[in-house]
Structure 1
């Protein structure tokens, strides 16, 4: 299907007010050439979007994927600029340069971490890297990880350029920039919620707009689906992306003031991530510490066609995380941060990725339809790029050939070719069905099960 870029004055509808959608709307608005509308079923930031979270990692450590490394370096400049903008408005920073500490086990770095350091140094950014030569050096730099080091996580390097972002605040920040630039927002369960794409009756493969839940048709010259993990359930994606649920838990700040201060000063950490999947953050301003697992995740297939679709706390208010995942968190943290064993888990949720078939984004004109662009396939690593990704998507919308348009084009890969990124704990696909009947490990944990085990008299 051939693609024609939009003309000056054209109307562009973007469905989805998350990371990709808002960043695209902002980049387009800077050209003052288009009439831009963003539709979302919820107020921004949408509470069940992957982008709505207390924090996300901002890292440039991508092993041999230099495309994303360089894109992160570009994004760093924008993150610092956003912090300046917020300081001028007496707002808290959205980017916190805490550093990213990658810990490995078995007295050696994993292949992923070796590749990261090699690639970063060869690109001229070696000054960002502090490589620790012994277990004692790690403990001296980060005494908070003394137990982890003694339990085998005894090899590490720190990337000083990285850190974490307050992702919900980052979404609000770019949303406000869009509003200032005249982007139109249509939000709500009826008038902002996509029911289906609208096609030209005389040419069924031509998209002419969208229909919302209130049955109104909204015409446009181009439609951009930036609907994250919902995308595969909205349009035929030929199995190039799948919605996978990843588990996240929080701890509230411990009552021990010394421990709280220690955790406030943590870097972002990765606990032998390519083997275990676990990563975590310092305590944030609200006193919460988030820990997550980056793995192949869970599926939630719908009865209609078996396509995995997000199941979130918006529609399933009592959902938490699968009990099997909770038990694995406790087992890992018992070795890595054993202080958490005495703490209740304060909350947990399943965060939904749009996992692409090969870990790269899928941002491209749709091959089956005219005037339709998909911007999806975040694969769990999109939010760090929110200040910059929209400019790359804008190039794709405008038909400009770049290294990004070539890397993110529609790929027509077969399911058997699926591979996950180098940081996944289980590179072989082992996805379970969320809350699957007769599978005890897949059921949702109860609030009582979030409580720490306490000795009984």
Structure 2
């Protein structure tokens, strides 16, 4: 049975569970109206160490092929990112948005369908001046000599979106958190007092959510509850398989000074992403260079019901990335940026997505409950929208019909219809089980296996 949703009236108390991208952005947008009592609960101090939003950087791109809804949302967000940079400059803080450009490579002497559709839709929307299309491999090398080897190894077609770049995601989270504090949003961010134990329903009506219970046993009453719990959402409430928690591998290099100087000047790059899954960033102010893979990901099913749940470095302190993922990183980077072959990997982690069935966000009243909404399904592309997404979620909370509320509404798709987003490698869903017994590729790497010397000495092992 689907329950009808009623928007909150002025004066309502709104509880948001989760202090990441969706949760904080929504808290900020609600607080701006100055007519709700807004509470945010999280089990960790913000930014939470194992949240997807807690990271040194994320791509800020408007390149969405035929998913033009997100292209237009990003254009709207660009202005707010620049406003945030101004606000930080006034406080002598560094920028959170860096307009390095986003360089999208294809291979085999031609653009993939994804890049073709990106350029077509960006130009048709009137933003063609953002695009610098390279008509020969030599033009790419002339503009970005750091990618000479990549071009020579077949990544020889590319365009640059000059408007895009990257954000310091943890700092962006801190920035909007402070904006929330200034507006009087209430926060509970302790292990027991801020950690959700369960939804709390009316004893007379088990479908009516009237608050939450935290790990310390306390009940917190609210008129509406928003679960902005990211990749944990499917393990908190029955999402009818609309979302699944998937683990995506990320590594860092800390290159020597001569390479750092070169790689600080790089744009964000996508290495034929829709086919390989690999992307990376320039060196940041700390000299860290992050590389990631955007693919169908790993699963970590819990024993009780096979629902995939995040396995993070908070609960498993020694975790890194699967050994099979390390082998793939080394193989790809050996072709794309071969200078990394002799570098140790300085850090690795599995970053958890809330993957929706079709790659679109799931932001909607939950059909099984009164007063409960969910904001999840980031599908690995949510953080870039942190300055703007909360306003769209606020509309949904308030029952306003928009193109976003229609696109992100509850959908009853079947898992066999899974599409993922257009920029995802191996979208045929070849998901492996993390740390699966009898699967040598799925075990976690040891730190000594991150060393370049280990790779050279033990090629057969990895």
> Which bin holds the TM-score, normalised by the shorter protein?
over 0.9
Q: Hey, what does 2:36 align to over in structure 1?
A: 34
Q: Judge conservation of contact 2:255–2:343 (CA < 8 Å) in 1.
A: no
Q: Judge conservation of contact 1:354–1:378 (CA < 8 Å) in 2.
A: yes
- Residues of 2 paired with 1:277 and 1:306: CA distance? 26
Q: Judge conservation of contact 1:341–1:453 (CA < 8 Å) in 2.
A: no
Q: Hey, what does 1:2 align to over in structure 2?
A: 4
Q: Hey, what does 2:273 align to over in structure 1?
A: 273
Deviation of 1:203 (Å): 0.8
Gaps of 5+ in 2: 458-462
Q: Hey, what does 2:111 align to over in structure 1?
A: 109
Q: Hey, what does 1:148 align to over in structure 2?
A: 150
- Residues of 2 paired with 1:424 and 1:7: CA distance? 41
Q: Judge conservation of contact 2:226–2:375 (CA < 8 Å) in 1.
A: yes
TM-score by length of 1: 0.99
Deviation sequence 1:135-159 (CA, Å, 0-9, x none): 0000000000000000000000000
- Residues of 2 paired with 1:295 and 1:53: CA distance? 18
Q: Out of 61, 68, 71, which is 1:69 matched to?
A: 71
Gaps of 5+ in 1: none
- Residues of 1 paired with 2:369 and 2:417: CA distance? 25
Deviation sequence 1:332-384 (CA, Å, 0-9, x none): 00000000000000010000000000000000000000000000000000000
Q: Hey, what does 1:180 align to over in structure 2?
A: 182
Q: Hey, what does 1:157 align to over in structure 2?
A: 159
Deviation sequence 1:416-448 (CA, Å, 0-9, x none): 111111111101010000000110000001111
- Residues of 1 paired with 2:47 and 2:397: CA distance? 24
- Residues of 2 paired with 1:374 and 1:427: CA distance? 25
Q: Judge conservation of contact 1:225–1:231 (CA < 8 Å) in 2.
A: yes
Say which SS state the counterpart of residue 41 (structure 2) adopts.
strand
Aligned ranges for residues 24-423 of structure 1 at < 5 Å?
24-254=26-256, 257-423=257-423
Deviation of 1:258 (Å): 2.9
Q: Judge conservation of contact 2:283–2:289 (CA < 8 Å) in 1.
A: yes
Say which SS state the counterpart of residue 233 (structure 2) adopts.
helix
- Residues of 2 paired with 1:363 and 1:108: CA distance? 37
TM-score by length of 2: 0.98
Say which SS state the counterpart of residue 307 (structure 2) adopts.
coil
- Residues of 1 paired with 2:286 and 2:415: CA distance? 42
- Residues of 1 paired with 2:377 and 2:260: CA distance? 36
Deviation sequence 1:168-202 (CA, Å, 0-9, x none): 00000000000000000001110000000000011
Say which SS state the counterpart of residue 69 (structure 1) adopts.
helix
- Residues of 1 paired with 2:258 and 2:109: CA distance? 30
Q: Judge conservation of contact 2:111–2:157 (CA < 8 Å) in 1.
A: yes
Deviation of 1:260 (Å): 1.4
Write out the 4+ residue segments of structure 1 that deviate beyond 4 Å after TM superposition.
Answer: none
Deviation of 1:250 (Å): 0.2
Say which SS state the counterpart of residue 346 (structure 1) adopts.
strand
Say which SS state the counterpart of residue 436 (structure 2) adopts.
coil
- Residues of 1 paired with 2:52 and 2:189: CA distance? 18
Q: How many residues align?
A: 454
Matched, 1:450 2:454: no
Q: Hey, what does 2:430 align to over in structure 1?
A: 430
- Residues of 2 paired with 1:47 and 1:177: CA distance? 20
Say which SS state the counterpart of residue 437 (structure 1) adopts.
coil
Q: Judge conservation of contact 1:59–1:384 (CA < 8 Å) in 2.
A: yes
- Residues of 2 paired with 1:214 and 1:395: CA distance? 33
Deviation sequence 1:20-45 (CA, Å, 0-9, x none): 00000000000000000000000000
Say which SS state the counterpart of residue 154 (structure 2) adopts.
coil
- Residues of 1 paired with 2:369 and 2:330: CA distance? 47
- Residues of 2 paired with 1:103 and 1:356: CA distance? 26
Deviation of 1:392 (Å): 0.1
Deviation of 1:453 (Å): 3.1
Deviation sequence 1:276-309 (CA, Å, 0-9, x none): 0000000001110000000000000000100000
Say which SS state the counterpart of residue 453 (structure 1) adopts.
helix
Q: Judge conservation of contact 1:436–1:442 (CA < 8 Å) in 2.
A: yes
- Residues of 2 paired with 1:141 and 1:418: CA distance? 38
- Residues of 2 paired with 1:389 and 1:215: CA distance? 32
Q: Judge conservation of contact 1:195–1:211 (CA < 8 Å) in 2.
A: yes
- Residues of 2 paired with 1:412 and 1:138: CA distance? 44
